Amino acid sequence: MDINLLKLLRDARDVLLFRFYPIDHYRYGLPVMLMLMVAVGVVNALMLKPMLGNGQSVMMLGFVFALLKWLLLTRATTGILQYFGSPRIPFLGYALLTESLVLPLLLLPYFPEMAMIFQLWNLWIFWAQLIGFARISQQPISKVLIAYVVYFILVMAFGLIMLGLFNLGGWLDITELQKNIEKLMKQ
């Protein structure tokens, strides 16, 4: 396992340029994986703030949600692509690398006028991730899209369960969430 951050940055650049390597290339050390997971958790918490408000519980939900999304993405793509004939491919490193490409979104609160650019960035990341899964697994994009549909359903189901658990634990207020969503919908 590699803890070289320069390699990680080069891999991120290469993914954004649609250059992909065999899956064994995307192995990173535990410190790097933890650092990326914390960073993605911060981005998730930042994106959840308008709906859930401030507080440590929102930060914790962001971290848990980041971990959950990463594991579900990895499991859905591995399982669905294996079902379609691909060998069992451990996408953990590649999935975390591509999920960490959202880190520039940390700048969004400071530059809200660039929201459209950040949306285009998200779209670029999605396509890079999708094409990478297809090339690494040597499966057609249509089969990878099926994995994404399964992933989306799982994220929605487990996300609702997490919100319910955080609400039951007293960490989140669902009525505040409803009010914030209504306020965002009116804008």
Q: Is 118 exposed, middle or buried (0-12, 13-18, 19+ CB in 10 A)?
A: middle
Q: What is the pTM of this model?
A: 0.88
Write out the residue range of the structural domain in which residue 77 sits. Answer: 5-186
What pLDDT sits at residue 30? 86
* Contact indicator for 186, 172 with CB cutoff of 8 Å: no
What pLDDT sits at residue 1? 52
Tally of domains in the chain: 1
What pLDDT sits at residue 49? 79
**Which pair of structure tokens corresponds to residue 140?**
């057609």
Distance CA 125, CA 142 (A): 18
pLDDT tens digits in sequence order for the chain, 187 residues long: 556 778 889 999 999 999 999 999 999 888 888 999 999 998 888 888 777 777 788 888 888 999 999 999 999 999 999 999 889 999 999 999 999 999 998 888 888 899 899 999 999 999 999 999 999 999 999 999 999 999 999 999 999 999 889 888 888 877 877 887 888 788 7
